[in-house]
Amino acid sequence: MSGRRNWLQRLRQESAIPGFGLALGYSLTWLGLIVLVPLAVLVLRALELGPSELWRIISDDRTRAALRVSFGLSFLAAVVNGIAGLAVAWVLVRYRFPGRRLLDALVDLPFALPTAVAGIALTALYAPNGWLGSLLKMIGIKVAYTPLGIFIALVFIGLPFVVRTLQPVLEDIDHEIEEAAATLGARRWQTVFQVLLPTVFPAWLTGFALALARAVGEYGSVIFIAGNIPYVSEIAPLLIVIRLEEFNYAGATAIATAMLFIAFVLLLIINLLQVWTRRRLGHV
């Protein structure tokens, strides 16, 4: 007992608040059982396969195509989310107009709406006989059951990330900066594009990264609208499910490992970019 207390005392700073051992012990146990052990099993399974076997599965044509579809379309969707999300956040923060609060609340819909519901709803809308699908068909664009459909679904689920990351940052901008720019003779568009937007760029990157990460792993809203044609509109998460249904655990593990690895590298690059821009812009 006293040994344990000494260990705890060494771990933390002095405090009059009770319950540290219980709270931390419970948290760590629960975190370990639910999150860390199962994730560790995935890593162990991947290590068991060995690098050559892992590479053999990942470099398979169908896997490579699925990874390309997932990451390529997620990147495009995150870019569109970055542009649209910036416009939405700007309008919600900067302007006062009737219905603003309703629009603001609505932005969270993709978080709240179960992905399967979003999936069948988007499919119904963009199917060749759907409300939007029939309009787009007239100008020769097919959305549902093509990679374009995947892109639409990924834009839908990623939108709130950019908006919600940018809103507080846009709110915090000091109006004196803009006044100073205007006093110095800057046109409004110059102030916006050369003064304001660069200051929110690091936050924009965070939102972009969150939208990208979410899109890469997305499953429910995509599989209904995708058509799921191997090599064309088959996403990596779906291929994992297919491998599992074939009881091909090695295949599923390898694809999952590749996905996690690529996502990790992408997020690392974005993080470095963020550090670099922060330093360049002189932020703390």
Partner 1 sequence: MSKHRDVTQERRLVQCLLIAGVALFLAIFLVLPLVIVFVEAFRNGVRTYFEALTDPESLAAIRLTLLVAAIAVPANLLFGIAASWAIAKFDFHGKSVLNTLIDLPFSVSPVISGLIYVLLFGAQGVLGPWLEAHGVQIIFAVPGIVLATIFVTFPFVARELIPLMQQQGTREEEMALSLGASGFKTFLLVTLPNIKWGLLYGVLLCNARAMGEFGAVSVVSGHIRGVTNTMPLHVEILYNEYSFAAAFAVASLLAMLALITLVMKSLLEWRFGAELAARKRHP
Residues 67-96 that bind partner 1 (CB under 8 A): 84, 87-88, 90-92, 94-96
For position 252 contacting partner 1 by CB under 8 A, the verdict is yes
CB of 25 to partner 1, least distance (A): 9
Query: Which stretch, 49-57, 71-79, 174-182, 275-283, contacts partner 1 (CB under 8 A)?
Result: 174-182
Q: How far is the CB of 89 from partner 1 (least distance, A)?
A: 9
Least distance in angstroms from the C-beta of 212 to partner 1: 11
Tally the C-alpha atoms within 13 A of residue 54's C-alpha that lie toward its C-beta: 18
Q: Does 184 bind partner 1 (CB under 8 A)?
A: no
- Give the range of 56-64, 140-148, 153-161, 273-281 binding partner 1 by CB under 8 A: 153-161
| Of 57-65, 136-144, 233-241, 275-283: span binding partner 1 (CB under 8 A) | 233-241
State the Cα torsion 140-145-147-151 to the nearest 10°: 90
Helices 147-172 and 197-217 meet at what angle, rounded to 10?
140
Are residues 273 and 223 in contact, defined by beta-carbon separation less than 8 angstroms? no
Cβ neighbours for 189, distance < 8 A, ≥ 6 positions apart: none
Any contact of residue 107 with partner 1 (CB under 8 A)? yes
Q: Which of 149, 224, 254, 274 binds partner 1 (CB under 8 A)?
A: 224
- Give the C-alpha separation, 217 to 171, whole Å: 31
Contact 251, 58 (CB under 8 A): no
Nearer to partner 1, 55 or 193 (CB): 193
Q: Residues in the chain, how many?
A: 284
Going residue by residue from 109 to 128, which x/- string records binding to partner 1, judged by CB under 8 A?
Answer: xxxxxxxxxx-xxx-xx---
Whose Cβ is closer to partner 1: residue 156's or residue 208's?
A: 156
The C-alpha atoms of residue 263 and residue 212 are separated, in whole angstroms, by 9
The Cα–Cα gap between 137 and 129 comes to 9
